[in-house]
């Protein structure tokens, strides 16, 4: 056992990566004064690994680089080198379907709030875990419930920072109420996004609808691919504000994230959406996303 009472070695044999070293998951750690740990001075990404391939890899790396630039945090390495590390994590962990978590912090330095004039070397952390395929399939087949909560997050939600306290409080409240996700509502009464997902509805005119991008929402990678796939399929799409009341009277609703492209929402605040079952457009979006993302992953693996 470690000094914290944790197993010294992860029983599953999982491998983590910290600053150039591949380590048993239970032995990986960062410096006590790492700014990600002490100040939340860090950016992260989550990649889905599907069939041993990393989904939407370049799109996630695009967003990673944008988020790093927004807080003046240097990349830990070049994109080509980082892709090699990502693939090595998949290989070493022998995971076919899972989530690859990446975090970049500003590194370890004497604690002080301002960004250091001479910033230390960034800390790069990677972990990988399998996901529950059966549970994911159940959510797709049966749909999920959503609880609306006030959006109490900071003003730059477009940056994928590890500062997630407001998100986790909303998500916890939703789970305790029997819902899977929380949809956050801004001071003007409009849905921003889920605590860890993008919020979508199919409005009364049958249009695929999600909020337009701004500082109020994260530019979801899966959102981006869905919009591209929908446009290619000539499906009606609109990006605009919508309220919880409109969502509750929508034809369909769903969420998207790296953990699921089009997970049906069948209930919001106890109100049944449509006929209370996953809708046809939601299922169609899931199919379009899977095809487009799968083609990209295969091409990236071939060229990599």
- Mean pLDDT across the chain, nearest whole number? 93
Is residue 5 included in any domain, yes or no?
A: no
d(CA 43, CA 104): 5
Q: Tell me, yes or no, whether 274 and 190 share the same domain.
A: yes
Q: What is the pLDDT of residues 223-282, one digit of tens each?
A: 999 999 999 999 999 999 999 999 999 999 999 999 999 999 999 999 999 999 999 999
Please tell me whether residues 59 and 108 are part of one structural domain: yes
For residue 111, is it within any domain?
yes
Q: How would residue 1 be classed by pLDDT, with cut points 50, 70 and 90?
A: very low
Please identify, among 82, 115, 131, the residue that sits at the C-terminal boundary of a domain: 131
In terms of domains, do 37 and 123 share one? Answer: yes
The pLDDT score that the predictor gives to residue 253 is 98
Measured distance CA(37)–CA(76) in Å, rounded: 17
Domain co-membership, 165 together with 272: yes
Q: Is residue 122 part of a domain?
A: yes
Same domain, 116 and 150: no
**DSSP character at residue 108:** B
Q: What is the CATH number of the domain that holds 75?
A: 3.30.470.10
* Residue 241, in any domain of the structure: yes
Confidence (pTM): 0.92
Residue 242 and residue 160 share a domain: yes
> Same structural domain for residues 91 and 145?
no
Contact (CB, 8 A) for 146 and 180: yes
Do 199 and 103 reside in the same domain of the chain?
Answer: no
Spatial CA neighbour of 251 closest among 228, 223, 225, 272: 272
Domain extent, residue 83, equals 15-131
Total number of domains in the chain:
2
Task: Give the pLDDT of residue 174.
Answer: 98
For residues 282 and 147, state if they share a domain.
yes
Residues 179 and 102 in one domain: no
Q: Please indicate, yes or no, if residue 3 is contained in any of the structural domains.
A: no
**Chain segment 161-199, per-residue pLDDT in tens:** 999 999 999 999 999 999 999 999 999 999 999 999 999
Q: What is the CATH number of the domain that holds 225?
A: 3.20.10.10
Range with the poorest average pLDDT among 4-8, 109-113, 209-213, 296-300: 4-8
- Residue ending a domain, among 75, 107, 131, is 131
2-6, 9-13, 205-209: range with highest mean pLDDT = 205-209
Decide if 37 is inside a domain. Answer: yes
Q: Three-class SS of residue 191?
A: strand
Domain end marker among 131, 159, 191: 131
Does 171 share its domain with 291? Answer: yes
Work out the pLDDT band at 140, boundaries 50, 70, 90.
very high
Neighbours of 9 (CB within 10 A): 14
Q: Quick one: 120 exposed, middle or buried, by C-beta within 10 A (0-12, 13-18, 19+)?
A: middle
Q: Taking 60 as the threshold, does the pLDDT of residue 3 lie above it?
A: no
Closest listed residue to residue 288, CA positions, set 232, 238, 237: 232
Same domain, 126 and 191: no
In a domain, 303, yes or no: no
Distance CA 67, CA 43 (A): 7
pLDDT per residue over 268-290, tens digit each? Answer: 999 999 999 999 999 999 999 99
**CB 198 within 8 Å of CB 220:** yes
| Per-residue pLDDT reduced to its tens digit, 60-94 | 999 999 999 999 999 999 999 999 999 999 999 99
Q: Kindly tell me if the per-residue pLDDT of 113 is higher than 90.
A: yes
pLDDT in tens, 8-35: 333 458 999 999 999 999 999 999 999 9
* Model confidence band, residue 294 (pLDDT cutoffs 50, 70, 90): confident
Residue/partner pairs of 220-225 with CB below 8 Å, 24 or more apart: 220/193, 220/256, 220/257, 221/56, 221/59, 221/60, 221/63, 221/258, 222/56, 222/198, 222/256, 222/257, 222/258, 222/261, 222/289, 223/198, 223/256, 224/59, 225/56, 225/59, 225/261, 225/289, 225/292, 225/293
Catalytic residues, which ones? 160
Residue 2 in this model has a pLDDT that exceeds 60: no
**Tokens 């209370």, located at residue:** 276
Rounded to whole angstroms, the Cα distance separating 286 from 254 reads: 10
pLDDT for 90: 98
């Amino acid at each position: 056992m470690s000094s914290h009472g944790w197993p010294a070695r992860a029983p599953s044999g999982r491998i983590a990566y910290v600053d150039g070293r591949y380590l048993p998951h239970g032995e990986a750690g960062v410096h006590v004064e790492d700014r990600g740990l002490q100040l939340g001075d860090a950016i992260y990404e989550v990649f889905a690994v599907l069939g041993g391939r990393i989904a939407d890899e370049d799109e996630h790396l695009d967003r990673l680089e944008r988020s790093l630039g927004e807080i003046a945090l240097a990349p830990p390495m070049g994109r080509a080198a980082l892709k090699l590390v990502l693939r090595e994590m998949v290989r070493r962990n022998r995971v076919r379907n899972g989530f690859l978590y990446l975090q970049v912090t500003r590194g370890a330095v004497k604690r002080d709030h301002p960004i250091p004039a001479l910033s230390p070397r960034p800390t790069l952390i990677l972990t990988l875990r399998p996901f529950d395929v059966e549970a994911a399939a159940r959510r797709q087949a049966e749909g999920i419930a959503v609880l609306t909560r006030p959006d109490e997050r900071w003003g730059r939600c477009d940056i994928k920072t590890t500062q997630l306290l407001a998100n986790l409080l909303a998500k916890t409240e939703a789970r305790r109420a029997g819902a899977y996700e929380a949809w956050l509502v801004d001071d003007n009464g409009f849905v921003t996004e889920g605590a860890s997902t993008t919020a979508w509805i199919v409005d009364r005119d049958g249009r695929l609808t999600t909020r337009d991008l701004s500082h109020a929402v994260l530019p979801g990678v899966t959102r981006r691919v869905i919009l591209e796939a929908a446009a290619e399929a000539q499906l009606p799409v609109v990006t605009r504000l919508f309220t919880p009341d409109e969502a509750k009277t929508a034809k369909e609703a769903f969420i998207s994230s790296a953990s699921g492209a089009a997970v049906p929402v069948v209930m919001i605040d106890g109100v049944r959406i449509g006929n209370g079952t996953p809708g046809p457009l939601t299922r169609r979006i899931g199919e379009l996303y899977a095809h487009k993302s799968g083609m990209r992953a295969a091409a990236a693996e071939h060229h990599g």
